[in-house]
Amino acid sequence: MTPGAQVAAAIEILAQIENGARPADDAAAGYFRRRRYIGAKDRTQIADHVYAALRHRAAIDWWIARLAKGDVAPTARSRALAALVLVEGWRPEAVGAACDGDRFRPARLGTAETQLIRGLAGRTVRHPDMPRAVANDVPDWLLPDLERAFGKGLEREIAALNAPAAIDLRANTLKADRDAVRRALLAEGVAAEPTPLSPIGLRLVKRVPLSGLAAFKNGLFDVQDEGSQIAALLADARPGMRVVDFCAGAGGKTLALAAGMANRGKLVACDVSAYRLERAARRLRRAGVGNVERRVLASEHDKWIKRHAKSFDRVFVDAPCLGTGTWRRNPDAKWRARPRDLAELVERQQQILRSAARLVHPNGRLIYVTCSLLREEDEMQAEAFLAAEPDFALFPASRAWAETIGGASPAGRDYLLLTPARHGTDGFFMAVFERRAADKATVSQCSAEIASLRSQ
Q: Among residues 121, 138, 155, which one ends one of the domains?
A: 138
Nearest to 8 by CA among 101, 114, 128, 85: 101
User: By residue range, what is the domain housing residue 270?
Assistant: 226-454
pLDDT of residue 442: 46
Q: What is the dihedral of CA 234, 237, 242, 245, to 10 degrees?
A: 50
Q: What pTM, to 2 d.p., does this model score?
A: 0.91
In angstroms, the CA 121 to CA 81 distance is: 12
Q: Among residues 92, 120, 138, which one ends one of the domains?
A: 138
Residue 149 lies in a domain: no
Task: Report the chain's terminal Cα–Cα distance, integer Å.
Answer: 57
- What are the Cα distances from residue 332, in Å, to 50, 56, 61, 343? 10, 10, 14, 20
- CATH number, domain at 124? 1.10.940
- Total structural domains in the chain? 3
pLDDT beyond 50 at 449:
no
The secondary structure of the chain in percent helix, strand, coil, rounded to multiples of 5, reads: 50, 15, 40
Contacts of 383 by beta carbon, 8 Å cutoff, 6+ apart: none
Q: Count how many residues are written for the chain.
A: 456
Give yes or no: residues 231 and 218 share one domain. Answer: no
Give yes or no: residues 197 and 298 share one domain. Answer: no
- What are the Cα distances from residue 229, in Å, to 99, 234, 260, 355, 425? 44, 9, 11, 25, 10
Taking only the tens place, the pLDDT of each residue in 212-243 is 999 999 999 999 999 999 999 999 999 999 99
pLDDT of residue 450: 41
Question: Binning pLDDT at 50, 70 and 90, where does residue 324 land?
Answer: very high
Number of neighbouring beta carbons within 10 Å of residue 389: 17
Give yes or no: residues 303 and 379 share one domain. Answer: yes
Give yes or no: residues 301 and 279 share one domain. Answer: yes
Taking only the tens place, the pLDDT of each residue in 386-416 is 999 999 999 999 999 999 999 999 999 999 9
In angstroms, the CA 122 to CA 119 distance is: 8
Question: Binning pLDDT at 50, 70 and 90, where does residue 452 land?
Answer: very low
Question: Binning pLDDT at 50, 70 and 90, where does residue 438 land?
Answer: low
Give yes or no: residues 301 and 387 share one domain. Answer: yes
Give yes or no: residues 248 and 282 share one domain. Answer: yes
In angstroms, the CA 185 to CA 191 distance is: 7
Nearest to 426 by CA among 323, 321, 325: 325
Residue 145 lies in a domain: no
Give yes or no: residues 265 and 192 share one domain. Answer: no
Q: DSSP string of 310-351?
A: T-EEEEEEE-----GGGTTT-TTHHHH--HHHHHHHHHHHHH
Give yes or no: residues 199 and 230 share one domain. Answer: no
Residue 37 lies in a domain: yes
Give yes or no: residues 396 and 290 share one domain. Answer: yes
Q: What b/e string do you get for 129-155 counting C-beta neighbours within 10 Å, with b at 16 or more? A: ebeebbbbbbbeebbebbeebbeeebe
- CATH number, domain at 384? 3.40.50.150
Between 30-39, 221-230, 310-319, the lowest mean confidence (pLDDT) is in 30-39
Phi, psi of 373 (to 5 degrees): -115, 10
Give yes or no: residues 132 and 72 share one domain. Answer: yes
* Active-site annotation holder among 99, 321, 371, 446: 371
Give yes or no: residues 116 and 41 share one domain. Answer: yes
Q: Is 371 a catalytic residue?
A: yes
Task: Give the type of residue at 97.
Answer: A
Residue 153 lies in a domain: no
Angle between helices 76-86 and 111-120 (to 10 degrees): 30
Taking only the tens place, the pLDDT of each residue in 163-194 is 999 999 999 999 999 999 999 999 999 999 99
Give yes or no: residues 172 and 281 share one domain. Answer: no
Indicate the burial class of 115 (C-beta count within 10 angstroms; 0-12, 13-18, 19 or more). middle
DSSP 146: H
Residue 144 lies in a domain: no
Q: Among residues 120, 138, 156, which one ends one of the domains?
A: 138
How large is the C-alpha radius of gyration of the chain? 24
- CATH number, domain at 216? 3.30.70.1170
- What are the Cα distances from residue 417, in Å, to 138, 372, 448? 20, 9, 37
Taking only the tens place, the pLDDT of each residue in 90-100 is 999 999 999 99
